[in-house]
Structure 1
Amino acid sequence: MPSSLDLPTGRLKMDLLLHRPQKEKVLIVMGPTGTGKSRLSIDLATQFPAEIINSDKMQVYQGLDIVTNKITEEEQCGVPHHLLGKLNPNTDFTASDFCRMASHVLESTRSRGQLPIIVGGSNSFIEALVDDEDFIFRSKYECCFLWVDVSMHVLYQFVSERVDRMVENGMVDEVRNIFDPKADYSKGIRKAIGVPEFDLYFRVEPFLDEENRGKLLKEAIQEVKNNTCKLAYRQWKKIRRLKNTKGWNIHRLDATEVLRTRGKAADEAWEKLVAGPSTALVAKFLLDFPMEPSAGALRDHMKQCLVA
């Protein structure tokens, strides 16, 4: 039997509206690149009445969908996504910009009776939003933090294989289409891992024979893999700091077994280790249960709320 809860969104929406807490509730999904944050956010948004707010500083830009690993329209499953693929790729997008725009989206999402799910790997943006200097966010919102974690050696292998799939899907040509020898790699979408690594290759490509072109391309792809692994480790360290040093109440979900396996076994591991426990945690968070409830207890509680 699946461990996730099949909760009718209409009932839950009515329950949230009838029993709205003093602070509005926000769900924040964190984790290093490649761990399954987007997948989990969609799983939860199809269980609860929710909208998703992107907090990935590169995915906010238009273009380079393969390089930035944007969730596709099909993968979004009809769930509204905000701050995704919206900005001019040549503009700068700072933590202050994110806080301002995300705050506006949070207000509009809550006004529609929807749960905001903030998801992305830019933990500095999330920290700037949640722990603002004036304590405004914490005074208005109560947060549930979910951390999708994977053992580093397993994650490194996975992201390496993912880069290979990105190359197969056209990543090199996607980057070539925006190549500019005078480009500033410190601004906009060109800061994304997977762009500056190809600069030398594109500059000398026309002057090399096939063998040397292949060798240089292979080196550029390996650099993308190395930098992606370094990013994953930095993201992991940042989440540990938020949890252990700053005291954020972050719920860790170990998805290592999901990436170790394939096919049906991986889907079963995801349901057992990530999706199911997350659904229970979010239901408890939204319905203010004093202890972790069973699926039956949650349904009974919602029925009582509807009758009341």
Structure 2
Amino acid sequence: MKKIATIIGTTGVGKSQLGVEICKALGGQVINADAMQVYKGLDIITNKMPMHERLGIQHHLMDFLEPEQEYKVTQFKDDCSNCIESIWHDNQLPVVVGGTNYYVQSLLYQNSLIKGEDVARSPSPEPMPDLDVLPTDDLYQRLQQVDPIMANKWHPSNRRKILRSLQVYYQMGRPQSDIIKDQHTHHERFGSQARFPSIIFWLYADPLQLNPRLDDRVTSMIKTGLFEEIKQLRQRVVEGQVNLPPGQVDEQYQRGLWQAIGYKEFDPYFTALEANALSMEDLDKIKDECTEKMKTATRRYAKRQVQWIRNKLLPTIWNAKQDDVKIYLLDAGDLSLWNTNVRDKAIEVARAFQNGDTLPDPTSLSEAAKTMLTQTELQDTQSRILGWQNHTCPICKTDKGDQLILYGDIEWEQHKKSRWHRKSIKTLKRKAAMDMNRPNAPPPTDD
């Protein structure tokens, strides 16, 4: 039976290394599923595995796109499916490796994407305006009009997601939220449907073990040429080879290669450097601040990757009607135990999967697996979107003086426990006490 293996996990956890090791042991080829590594060159900022570490294993869907081009998930799904067929034809095991988890999920399951043929079949009666030139505020107001449910979900400054929801509306003639409702109904009736038998290896490291490694990797990237790659990209913009989307810096870097962690974070440093108006001491201070921003962004990205797996991929696997996709968590926290805890276990399980032998219980491989793979009552993605509710904090305000809006129940619960919220409550109580002590202060009411 034709099967594939997949390796997922956070940035910096060793996915590429395990992919090569499995291919060497079982006879396979790697298919890249990292949205940044599809771009030509720029090996440091996109964290490509060096050629000598690939040990002759063929890698697909890597190093083929120009920096100014975009690569959509639908293109990945089609290209990856073609690669899988080709590798099967060579009687080898396709091993999909990457941290762009929505790429992986779109590949493994039917009905996880809005289909291109639907776009052509039912366009909106309204012609699509040139959305790219509109400021983010205008895009958000437009989305509030045509699809208030999705507008309620996205943060008003998240240009990329707002733009995507509007594109869906104009291309398909229906609000994206309506399509999600249909997908939700379909999943309730038929469950998630896998495209082919698959085994997933989730490389996991506790943040206390992983975060120092991520910080060290940022330092290493800077020493080995990160700045040279950033300069190359900035030069392409100066020479007009690529035009950044309109908007502020945070809005511009939400598409294509410009999302790569490092480019946006070091924008203040290179802007100051190119202006040639600051002392070396001031430049070094800005560089240090930008370095910390990159480390923080990297740690935050790793956290989001784990959240995606737990909140989106795991419920999809557990809610499936058929047991065609199996997931195994491998504890990659202690690198000195890599061969025992990761490599050997992965090869043993992958070989049994390939041969059709009995597979071990996924929760039996480690304590981390027992904790992270224990099934809980997790909502599927569609349910969370349809039940999404924003919260306005009656106490806290933004820098502009507006009431703070929290996007979703989780963010709201976290905010209520935050130092910001507690400090705002103390400030409000202190102000109320001062008002009560003022001469001629109005008496307290029962409200």
Q: TM-score, normalised by structure 2?
A: 0.56
Alpha-carbon distance between aligned partners in 1 of 2:286 and 2:309, rounded to the nearest angstrom:
35
Deviations along 1:2-52, one digit per CA (max 9) or x if unpaired, are xxxxxxxxxxxxxxxxxxx2xx10000011001100010011111011000
Please, which runs of 5 or more residues in structure 1 have no aligned partner? 1-20, 259-265, 293-308
- Secondary structure of the residue aligned to 2:91 is coil
Per the alignment, residue 228 of structure 2 pairs with 173
- Within the candidate set 180, 183, 194, 2:262 is matched to 194
Per the alignment, residue 211 of structure 1 pairs with 281
Is 1:256–2:333 an aligned residue pair? Answer: yes
Per the alignment, residue 60 of structure 1 pairs with 38
Alpha-carbon distance between aligned partners in 2 of 1:93 and 1:243, rounded to the nearest angstrom:
22
Per the alignment, residue 61 of structure 2 pairs with 83
C-alpha contact (below 8 Å) 1:243/1:249 kept by paired residues: no
Give the C-alpha shift of residue 274 in structure 1. 0.3
Aligned pairs for 1:154-165 (under 5 A) are 154-165=209-220
- Secondary structure of the residue aligned to 1:249 is strand
C-alpha contact (below 8 Å) 1:91/1:187 kept by paired residues: no
Per the alignment, residue 44 of structure 1 pairs with 22
C-alpha contact (below 8 Å) 1:90/1:187 kept by paired residues: no
Per the alignment, residue 292 of structure 2 pairs with 222
- Secondary structure of the residue aligned to 2:51 is coil
Per the alignment, residue 132 of structure 1 pairs with 110
Per the alignment, residue 93 of structure 1 pairs with 71
Deviations along 1:264-288, one digit per CA (max 9) or x if unpaired, are xx2xx11110001101100110111
Per the alignment, residue 205 of structure 2 pairs with 150
- Secondary structure of the residue aligned to 1:46 is helix
Give the C-alpha shift of residue 189 in structure 1. 1.2
Give the C-alpha shift of residue 241 in structure 1. 2.4
Per the alignment, residue 400 of structure 2 pairs with none
Q: Which amino acid aligns with 1:270?
A: W
C-alpha contact (below 8 Å) 2:8/2:202 kept by paired residues: yes
- Secondary structure of the residue aligned to 2:75 is helix
Q: Which amino acid aligns with 1:103?
A: S
C-alpha contact (below 8 Å) 1:92/1:188 kept by paired residues: yes
Alpha-carbon distance between aligned partners in 2 of 1:134 and 1:188, rounded to the nearest angstrom:
21
Give the C-alpha shift of residue 250 in structure 1. 1.3
Alpha-carbon distance between aligned partners in 2 of 1:271 and 1:120, rounded to the nearest angstrom:
20
Per the alignment, residue 32 of structure 1 pairs with 10
C-alpha contact (below 8 Å) 1:243/1:250 kept by paired residues: no
Alpha-carbon distance between aligned partners in 1 of 2:43 and 2:327, rounded to the nearest angstrom:
29
Larger radius of gyration: 2
Alpha-carbon distance between aligned partners in 2 of 1:254 and 1:94, rounded to the nearest angstrom:
31
- Secondary structure of the residue aligned to 2:54 is coil
Alpha-carbon distance between aligned partners in 1 of 2:31 and 2:289, rounded to the nearest angstrom:
35
C-alpha contact (below 8 Å) 2:32/2:60 kept by paired residues: yes
Alpha-carbon distance between aligned partners in 2 of 1:59 and 1:134, rounded to the nearest angstrom:
23
Task: Label 1:75 to 1:34 Cα distance change in 2 as closer, same or farther (>3 A).
Answer: same
Aligned residues: 261
- Secondary structure of the residue aligned to 2:44 is coil
Task: Label 1:186 to 1:134 Cα distance change in 2 as closer, same or farther (>3 A).
Answer: closer
Per the alignment, residue 263 of structure 1 pairs with none
Higher relative contact order (CA 8 A, sep 6+): 1
Is 1:119–2:97 an aligned residue pair? Answer: yes
- Within the candidate set 155, 167, 183, 2:244 is matched to 183
Alpha-carbon distance between aligned partners in 2 of 1:202 and 1:227, rounded to the nearest angstrom:
18
Task: Label 1:291 to 1:146 Cα distance change in 2 as closer, same or farther (>3 A).
Answer: closer
Alignment root-mean-square deviation, CA? 2.0
Per the alignment, residue 182 of structure 2 pairs with none
Deviations along 1:80-119, one digit per CA (max 9) or x if unpaired, are 0001111111111111111011111111111111100000
Alpha-carbon distance between aligned partners in 2 of 1:213 and 1:289, rounded to the nearest angstrom:
60
Task: Label 1:134 to 1:41 Cα distance change in 2 as closer, same or farther (>3 A).
Answer: closer
Alpha-carbon distance between aligned partners in 2 of 1:113 and 1:286, rounded to the nearest angstrom:
12
Q: TM-score, normalised by structure 1?
A: 0.80
